[in-house]
Structure 1
Amino acid sequence: MPILESDFSPTLPFKNSHFNTMYRPLFMKDVCNYQRKRITTWDADFIDLDFSQVGSKNLVLLIHGLEGSSESKYIASTSNHLNKKGLDTVCFNLRSCSGEDNLLLATYHSGKTEDLDFVVNHLLENYNYDTVSIVGFSLGGNLTLKYLGEYEQTLSTKIKGGIAISVPIDIASAEVEMEKLKNKLYIELFFKTMKNKVLEKAHKFPEYNLDKDKLFKATKFKHLEHLYTVPIFGFKSPEDYWEKASAKPYLSKIDRPTLLINAKDDTFLSEECYPRKEAIQSTNFHLEIPDYGGHCGFMSSFKPQENKWLELRIARFIEENIHIELS
């Protein structure tokens, strides 16, 4: 598909990437009244699904980003907006992210699509929805895109398409970008919870021989991958993980309407995370690159009623490209 023109045009302070990135989590008050359903996984663990239902026959599955949850402001706001448009939503809280630690040593990672496939099949088998669309943010967006391409041959016809926002689809180069000084604060914020989770796992599972000195000194995602992701999930190296978990190689296989929105000023993303060639060559994969928006921000102004561009864009794509009539 041709690369889409974007109509996102924020007011002056929101043209600053860091301001836009931080404004939503710090100042927006979005909350959503969910009903939680806990499901048991094939490997004797659990996953918490948070539903917000309005009696629709169409469901949107929402997937949060790294160390997020259904309480993340972008998830709650999107859920509320889609409910108003007449759609049911359900947030897939990745393992260890629902407010309660999961039962196993293994949690989640950027490419763990087997968990997403399990959740999708559970929804199809246990709920009477006509359609399911998937919307993922950041790491959740990588899962969305990878899943739609990787499972293309076995996906139910009820899975109508997807939308991914602020996605590091090329993990190797995105991690190089994240190591730059401009992202130091974000790394520190992520590491606060990530290091605590790894420590808690080491306490619960003594057989996991964690080098705590290395954990405390870790300053890059690669350090945590060496200590946790690689040994726990069976990768050969961080480089092996980056290659196998990245969504970019799967974009050409996507066979139903899918949109990626990556802001040009997103400090988390490398140039390789803007797949122009893949979008131009695809009949199903759409790419939109607003000049502004930061990372999972896309806030327009200080007026709450004017801060729904992203939610409106998601709904518009669902209506126009996935062909679900909204109220």
Structure 2
Amino acid sequence: MDFSSPRWLGGRGAVGGNLQTIWPALYSKRYHGPAPVYRRERWNTPDGDFIDVDFQVGPEGADAAADVPMLVLFHGLEGSSASHYAQSFAHWARERGWRYVVPHFRGCSGEINLAPRAYHSGDFEEIGWVLQALRTRHAGPIVAVGVSLGGNALLRWAEEAGETASAVVRAVCAISSPIDLAAGGQAIGRGFNRHVYTRMFLRTMIPKALRKWEQHPGLFDRERLRAVRDLYAFDNVFTAPLHGFRDTDDYWHRGSAKPHLHRIRVPALVLNARNDPFVPAHSLPRQAEVGPFVTLWQPHHGGHVGFPAGAWPGHVMTLPEQVMGWMVDRLPVDGVGRPGARPA
């Protein structure tokens, strides 16, 4: 990816990384024309819970034809179909007549889920269940994009699925994903990141966890949760024990996609800006570590799910254009793409 941020929005260093993260999320243009419109479906999960899945409605008021390509986007931590990046990918899909779907992780659609669990960065079983359900109902090719947490979970699914992944999707992409969860967790727990990003996430995560305790009294130590001030402590009290991990270190170790990238057997794009405040550049993999099916894009600019472009106040539509250009190259020649379901 050849990407440079606008001159007015910083550069390669920490200041630029933060500006390129915060400004796009708050102020940048995400689409042309009307806002994306979704049709929501509630799916019952195998364990008696539910997730909400948003399907973009086409301009004529109906979903696109069943045999066109489908783009599935898995959102990041505390994200949704309304996140800035989700709206920019929705615009790309709408302009090209693709079907577009945003499955919400449990508890992220505006309504708390029912089961004594939530979601986490290594939730590959949930990713697999969602993709298989979409595969059974959609005749056309499917590609999947995961953003931040959702990207790590998507890669973990591709790693676990191995050769069988290609029967479900044509290609996958992880954007700004903390594929080394320990490195990412340490980065977000220090200095400016701790005071700004950690506080932002905990502002919604702690109340949702307390509502989960009200559903299931005694599920975790409520007073310890009230006292947490960083994601490491939150994961120790809530995320790890609720999802079968011993503690935060065990969760971050077993949930990280980076050590297993060589197992992927479907075309996969891993995009990380080297000035991402959440994902230290020193933790990123090299091409020799990942195997022939994985393509690494590591531009110097972009921040965390930012990649702003254009004149003031900027837009975030370059990101889906470049990512989906790579995806289309992995589709068969069927009227929508160029040749190649092939490893990069």
Normalising by structure 1, what TM-score?
A: 0.92
Residue in 1 that maps onto 2:341: none
How far did 1:303 drift?
A: 4.8
Q: Which amino acid aligns with 1:19?
A: L
Structure-2 change in CA distance of 1:278 and 1:69 (3 Å) = farther
Residue in 2 that maps onto 1:3: none
Residue in 1 that maps onto 2:310: 301
How far did 1:86 drift?
A: 2.6
Residue in 2 that maps onto 1:193: 204
Tell me if structure 2 keeps the 8 A contact 1:8–1:292: yes
Say whether residues 1:144 and 2:154 are aligned partners: yes
Distance in 2 (CA, whole Å) between partners of 1:64 and 1:173 is: 20
RMSD over equivalenced CA pairs, Å? 1.9
Distance in 2 (CA, whole Å) between partners of 1:86 and 1:318 is: 15
How far did 1:114 drift?
A: 0.8
Mapping of 1:157-306 within 5 angstroms? 157-184=167-194, 185-212=196-223, 214-271=224-281, 273-278=283-288, 282-303=291-312
Q: Which amino acid aligns with 2:5?
A: P
Structure-2 change in CA distance of 1:79 and 1:43 (3 Å) = same
Residue in 2 that maps onto 1:98: 109
Distance in 1 (CA, whole Å) between partners of 2:281 and 2:192 is: 16
**Stretches (4+) displaced over 6 A:** none
Tell me if structure 2 keeps the 8 A contact 1:257–1:322: no
Distance in 2 (CA, whole Å) between partners of 1:90 and 1:318 is: 16
Q: Which amino acid aligns with 2:245?
A: F
- SS of aligned partner of 1:61: strand
Tell me if structure 1 keeps the 8 A contact 2:170–2:266: yes
Distance in 1 (CA, whole Å) between partners of 2:311 and 2:112 is: 36
- SS of aligned partner of 2:128: helix
How far did 1:124 drift?
A: 1.5
Structure 1 portions without partners, runs of 5+ = 1-5
Q: Which has the larger displacement, 80-89 or 291-300?
A: 80-89
Structure-2 change in CA distance of 1:114 and 1:158 (3 Å) = closer
Tell me if structure 1 keeps the 8 A contact 2:75–2:81: yes
Distance in 2 (CA, whole Å) between partners of 1:221 and 1:292 is: 25
Distance in 2 (CA, whole Å) between partners of 1:277 and 1:12 is: 29
Tell me if structure 2 keeps the 8 A contact 1:164–1:260: yes
Mapping of 1:72-83 within 5 angstroms? 72-83=83-94
Residue in 2 that maps onto 1:321: 330
Residue in 2 that maps onto 1:47: 51
How far did 1:194 drift?
A: 0.5
Residue in 2 that maps onto 1:9: 4
Distance in 1 (CA, whole Å) between partners of 2:27 and 2:55 is: 24
Q: Which amino acid aligns with 1:37?
A: E
Structure-2 change in CA distance of 1:307 and 1:61 (3 Å) = closer
Distance in 1 (CA, whole Å) between partners of 2:315 and 2:85 is: 15
Q: How many residues align?
A: 319
How far did 1:29 drift?
A: 5.4
Residue in 2 that maps onto 1:23: 23
